[in-house]
C-alpha cells in the first residue's frame, strides 16, 4: 500500500548522483563537474501569488555536466609518441585564426 502512495506523488531524483555512482562501479573516474545555469524565460521562480503560494513549484534551471575519465592519466613514454603528441597540439594562435 505504501508503494502505491509513493507513485502518486511528484518526486525528483538526483540523476547526476546515480550516474556518478554507476560510473564509479565501472571503474571510471569522475573529474570536476560543471553546474550549468540555464536561461529561463520567467522573471520569477515560483508560480502563483504571495511570498510562498500554495501551488508553487521550483523551476529546473540548473543542469549537471558530468565529466569522466576512463583509465588513468595518459603517459607518453617513447620520444616518438611525445613528438606526435606535440605535433597534434592546438595552440592559442592557431585557435584564433
Q: Are 70 and 62 in contact (CB under 8 A)?
A: no
Distances from the Cα of 78 to the Cα of 72, 73, 81, 85, angstroms: 18, 16, 5, 11
Name the residue among 95, 24, 30, 40 with its Cα closest to residue 64: 30
Show the cell assigned to 86. Answer: 606535440
pLDDT digits 0-9 by tens, 17-76: 899 999 999 999 999 999 988 776 555 555 555 565 566 566 667 888 999 998 877 888
Residue 1: pLDDT band with limits 50, 70, 90:
very low
Q: Which residue has the higher pLDDT, 58 or 95?
A: 95
Given this model, what pLDDT does residue 66 score? 94
Residue 93: pLDDT band with limits 50, 70, 90:
confident
Backbone angles phi, psi at 62, to 5 degrees: -115, 145
Amino acid at each position: 500500500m505504501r508503494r502505491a502512495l509513493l507513485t502518486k506523488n511528484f518526486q525528483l531524483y538526483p540523476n547526476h548522483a546515480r550516474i556518478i555512482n554507476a560510473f564509479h562501479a565501472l571503474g571510471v573516474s569522475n573529474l570536476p563537474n560543471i553546474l550549468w545555469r540555464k536561461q529561463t524565460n520567467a522573471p520569477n521562480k515560483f508560480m502563483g501569488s504571495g511570498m510562498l503560494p500554495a501551488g508553487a513549484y521550483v523551476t529546473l534551471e540548473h543542469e549537471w555536466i558530468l565529466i569522466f575519465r576512463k583509465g588513468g592519466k595518459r603517459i607518453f613514454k617513447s620520444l616518438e609518441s611525445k613528438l606526435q603528441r606535440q605535433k597534434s597540439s592546438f595552440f592559442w594562435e592557431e585557435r584564433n585564426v
